[in-house]
Chain A
Amino acid sequence: MVAIQVDSLTKRYGEHVAVDGISFQVEQGEAFGILGPNGAGKTTTLEMIEGLRKPDSGQVHVLGRPVWPDPRSVQSLIGVQLQSTTLFDRLTSRELLELFACFYNRSDGSERAQLVLEQVGLVGKADAYADDMSGGQQQRLAIALALVHDPDVVFLDEPTTGLDPQARRNLWDVIRAIHADAGKTVVLTTHYLEEAETLCDRVAIMDESRVIALDTPAGLIASLGAEVRISYTEGGEEQVAYAHDAQGAVLETLEAARQRGAQIEGLSVRGPSLEDVFLKLTGREFRE
C-alpha cells in the first residue's frame, strides 16, 4: 500500500522555484531518503508533505488522504521531527512527552512517554531538561516527540546534522529500530551520502529543485554500469574512471601512464558509491 503519494509538487518563493514539479511514491513500511546538497529543496518538499507549507501546485496524499487544503486530517497519522526545534525550557523529557501525547488527546501519555524514551534510548534522561542534554540527546528527544502519539509515518528532517560521528551512528541505530522493529514508514532528508546508503530502502536524489534519480541505493549505484571506481592524481588534478574489471583497469591505467611518461599519485580503487552517482548525474562533486 502507498503511504505517500506526491504528484507534480511545486513551490516558488518569488522568482525562485524551490521545488519544481516533483513526483514520487513511498510505500508503507519503507525507509525513504531524500538526498541532496543544501538548497536542493529537500526541506521544502518535506514541509509540503507534512502540511506546514502550502504547495503552489501539485498534490500530496498521506495514507490515501489529501494533505491540502486541510492538513489537520493527517496530523495524527504523521510524526515530525523538524530540522531545528528548540523545545520549551524548564520541562523534563518525560513532561514534554506526556504533554505532546496530551496534545493528541491520548489518555495513555505516561505509558507512551516511557515506551518512546526506551525506543530512543533516553530513559536515563527522562527527568532532565532539554537544555541540559547533548546535541545527540536533544535530537533523540525530538524523535521521541515525533513518535509519542504512535503515528504510521515518521518524518525526520536532517536528523543527524551537526552531530559528531559517534552520536550520528547512535542515532542511526535508533532510526533503524523505528523502521525495522516498530514497522513505521520513515521519510528522512539528509545531505550525508553514507546516511542515505545505510538507512534507506530507496533514495530520491534531489538537485536544483528536482528529483534527478530514484531507486534503491544498490540500484542507483548499479546504474553507473561499473564495478569499480579508480581515482588518481596526475599533475595535481584528480582523475576518476569507472570500470567493470578492477585488475584489468588498474593495469591499463598504469600502462597508459607509463607510456606517456606521466607520474600518477594516490591511486585508489574502490566500489562506487552514491557520491559517484551524483557526480555522474550532475557533473559536480557532492559536497556534504
Chain B
Amino acid sequence: MTLSRIGATTLAQMRMMFRRRIVLFWSLVFPIILMALLGLLFGRSIDAGTITVIDASHTPASTAMVHALSTTKGVTVKTDQTDVAHARKQVQDGDRDALVVLTKTPAGATAAHLYYSNASATQAGIIRGIVSGASSRISVAATGSPPAIVYSQQSVDSSSLSYIDFLLPGILALAIMISAVIGLSTVLVTWRKQGVLRRLKLTPMPLWEFLVARVAASLTLALLQVAVLITFGALVFGVSISPTAWAAIPVALVGALCFLVMGFTVGSLVAEPETADAVTNVITNPMMFLSGTFYPVAAMPAFVQTIAKVLPLYYMTNALRDTIVRDRGLMYVMPDIGVLLAVTAVLAIVSLRTFRWE
C-alpha cells in the first residue's frame, strides 16, 4: 500500500511542478537561452595561442609530445627556435604565448618544461592544461610497450574542446543545481508557512513519504533536463557528444539529490519564503561562478581553485563534462560521485536535526 501511496503522491508532486510554467522556464528554457547567448558571445572555441617548442631530447616521447600539441585544436606549434633564452624573451614580450622545452634527464627520461606568461590568466590556464594534459598522457603511454603513441584530438584535454562543448555540461550542472535547490527550499518553507505540513500531519501518511515523492518528482525533472539540454546541444549547437554520455544520468541524479538535500536544509532552517530565496541565491551564485561552469577552473587564480574544490557544483560539473564530452566513463567519475554523496549525507544529517513542522 505504501508503494502505491508514494507513487500517487509522486504523480501529484509532478503535476504541481510541471504545471508551473515558471518552473519549466527556469529549468529547461533559460539554460538553452544562456547556452545560445554565451556560445554566440564567446565564439566556438577557446584559442590557446602560439606555442614555441624546442625539442632538445629527440626521444619518441618528445616527438609524441610535439605531435600531440600540434594536433590540439586552437594551438599553433612553432619549432623555428633553438635558443631557449631568446624563445623565453619572445614569450615575455608577448610575441609567443608559451614555450615548451623538451630535454633528456640524466636518467634517460624526457622532461618537458613550460614557460608561460601571466599576462592573460585565462590563456595561461588553458596552456597549462593543454601541456600538462599532453605530457601526462604521454607518460602513461610510455609505460606501455610500444613507444609510438597514437593520439586522438579529443583525449588531450578540456581545452581542446570547442567552447560550446565545454559550456554544455557546465550549464546542465548549473540548471540542475538551481532547480533542485529551489525545488525543495522555497517550496518547503511555503508549505510550512501556509499550514500544508500541519494539514498533512493529520493524515496517516508520514512526512518522509511526502518528501520522497517530492524528491522523485525533482529527479524526474533533472533527467528531463539532461535529455533536453544534451539533445538541444547536439542538434542545434553541434556539440559532439561522447559515447560515454549515458554515465551523465547517474551523475545528474546524484548531483540533483545533493542539491535537493541542500534545499531541504535551507528549508529546515529558514522561516520565510523570501529568506529562503535569498539564502538560496547566496549559496548558488558563488558556486555558479567558481565551479567551472563558464570557464575552466584551471584558468582561475590559485586561491579560487582552492575554493572551487570545496564546492559540490565543481565536482558535478567536472563529472558531467568528463562523461558528456570527454569520453570518460562512469568509473572515471566515481571520485566526483563519492564527494557528492558525502556532501549529501552531511547535509541530510543537519537538515533532519533542524526540521520543523510549524
Which residues of chain B are within 8 angstroms of A99 by Cβ–Cβ distance? 8-9, 12
The yes or no answer to B33 lying at the interface (CB within 8 A) is no
Are the CB atoms of A72 and B195 closer together than 8 Å? no
**1/0 contact string of B183-216 vs chain A (CB within 8 Å):** 0000000000011101111111100000000000
Check A102–B15 contact: CB distance below 8 A. Answer: no
State whether the Cβ of A75 lies closer than 8 Å to any Cβ in chain B.
yes
- Neighbouring B residues of A76 by C-beta, 8 Å: 204
B195 surroundings in chain A (CB, below 8 A): 82, 84-86
- Nearest to B194 among chain A residues (CB) is A86
- Inter-chain CA distance A56–B9, complex, in Å, is 35
B196-254, CB < 8 A from A: 196, 198-205
A52-B196 in contact (CB<8A) = no
CA distance A51 to B200 in the complex (A): 12
A244 is an interface residue with CB less than 8 A from chain B: no
With a cutoff of 8 Å between Cβ atoms, the chain B residues found around residue A105 in the complex are: 1, 5, 204
A103 and B196 in contact (CB under 8 A), knowing A52-B202, A89-B16, A95-B12? no
Which B residues are CB-close (under 8 A) to A90?
15-16, 19-20
Cross-chain contact B196 with A102 (CB below 8 angstroms):
no
For residue A102, which residues in chain B have a CB less than 8 angstroms away from its CB? 4-5, 8-9
Distance of A198 Cα from B182 Cα, bound (Å): 48
Give Cα A255–Cα B5 distance, bound, in whole angstroms: 75
Interface string of B13-40 (1 = CB under 8 A from A): 0011001100000000000000000000
The one of A75, A86, A87, A89 in contact with B202, judged by C-beta atoms closer than 8 angstroms, is A75
* Whole-angstrom CA separation of A104 from B16 in the bound complex: 20
Q: Which of A84, A88, A89, A103 contacts B203 (CB 8 A)?
A: A103
Known contacts A105-B1, A105-B5: A51-B15 contact under CB 8 Å: no
Considering the complex, give the chain A residue whose CB is closest to the CB of B1: A105
A150 at the interface (CB under 8 A from B): no
| Residue ID in chain A nearest B2 by CB atoms | A105
Instruction: State whether A85 touches B5 (Cβ < 8 A).
Output: no
Chain B nearest CB: distance from A43 CB in Å?
12
- In the complex, what residues of B have CB within 8 A of residue A78's CB? 202
Produce 1/0 per residue, A99-125, CB < 8 A to B. Answer: 110111100000000000000000000
B interface secondary structure, majority: helix
Within 8 A of B (CB), among A232-263: none
Chain B, range 154-202, C-beta contacts under 8 Å to A: 194-196, 198-202
Nearest CB of chain B from residue A116's CB, rounded to whole Å: 15
Whether A91 touches B12, Cβ cut-off 8 Å, given contacts A84-B195, A85-B196, A86-B194, is yes
What is the CA–CA distance of A145 and B12 in the complex, to the nearest angstrom? 15
Beta-carbon nearest neighbor of A149 in chain B:
B203
A50 at the interface (CB under 8 A from B): yes
B4 to chain A, nearest CB (A): 8
User: What chain A residues lie within 8 Å of B8 (beta carbons)?
Assistant: 98-99, 102
Chain B residues contacting A84 (CB-CB under 8 Å) are 194-195
Query: Which of B9, B195, B202, B204 is the most central at the interface, judged by chain A CB atoms within 10 Å of its CB?
Result: B202
Given contacts A85-B194, A90-B20, A102-B8, contact A80 B202 (CB under 8 A): yes
- Whether the pair B198, A52 counts as a contact (CB closer than 8 A) is yes
A52→B5 contact, CB < 8 A: no
**With contacts A82-B195, A85-B196 known, is A72 near B12, CB below 8 A?**
no
Q: Check A86–B196 contact: CB distance below 8 A.
A: yes
A51 pairs with B20, CB closer than 8 A:
no
Task: Check if A52 sits within 8 Å of B205, measured CB to CB.
Answer: no
Pick from A50, A82, A91, A98: contact of B16, CB below 8 A. A91
For B204, the chain A residues whose CB sits under 8 A away are: 72, 75-76, 103-105
**Given the complex of chains A and B, what is the CA–CA distance between A51 and B195 in angstroms?**
15
CA distance A87 to B200 in the complex (A): 10
- Give CA–CA (A87, B198) in the complex, Å: 11
A85 contacts which chain B residues (CB < 8 A)?
A: 194-196, 198-199
Q: Using a CB-CB cutoff of 8 Å, which residues 44-60 of chain A contact chain B?
A: 50-52
In the assembled complex, which residues on chain A have CB atoms less than 8 Å from the CB atom of B198? 52, 82, 85
Q: How far is the CB of A8 from chain B (nearest CB, A)?
A: 24
Inter-chain contact A104/B196, CB cutoff 8 Å: no
Complex contact B202–A50 (CB within 8 A): yes
**B20: which A residues are within 8 A, CB to CB?**
89-90
Shortest C-beta distance, B39 to chain A (Å), equals 33
Q: Does B203 lie within 8 Å of A75, measured CB to CB?
A: yes
Nearest A residue to B203 via CB reads: A103
Q: A89-B16, A90-B16, A99-B8 are in contact. Are A104 and B199 (CB under 8 A)?
A: no
User: Are the CB atoms of B203 and A52 closer together than 8 Å?
Assistant: no
Known: A80-B202, A102-B9. A91 touches B196 (CB 8 A): no
Distance of A62 Cα from B261 Cα, bound (Å): 38
Expressed in whole angstroms, the minimum distance between the Cβ of A106 and any Cβ of chain B is 10
Report how far A78 CA is from B202 CA in the complex, Å. Answer: 9
What's the nearest-Cβ distance from chain B to residue A66, in Å?
17
- Separation in Å of the A29 CB from the closest CB of chain B? 22
CB distance from B62 to the nearest CB of A (A): 64
Query: How long is the Cα–Cα vector from A86 to B196 in the complex, in angstroms?
Result: 7
A72 to B202, CA, bound (A): 8
Task: Give the distance in Å from the alpha carbon of A242 to the alpha carbon of B5 in the complex.
Answer: 60
How distant is the Cα of A258 from the Cα of B201 in the complex, in angstroms?
65
* A166 CB to nearest B CB, Å: 26
- Pick the residue among A72, A82, A91 that contacts B199 (CB under 8 A): A82
Give me the 6 closest cross-chain CB pairs, A-B, nearest first. A90-B19, A86-B194, A103-B205, A103-B203, A102-B8, A90-B16
Q: Which residues of A contact B (CB under 8 A)?
A: 50-52, 72, 75-76, 78, 80, 82, 84-91, 95, 98-100, 102-105, 145
Give residues in B with beta carbon < 8 Å to A. Answer: 1, 4-5, 8-9, 12, 15-16, 19-20, 194-196, 198-205
17 contacts between A and B (CB under 8 A): A72-B204, A75-B202, A75-B203, A80-B202, A82-B195, A82-B199, A82-B202, A84-B195, A85-B195, A86-B195, A87-B199, A88-B196, A90-B19, A91-B15, A102-B9, A103-B5, A103-B204
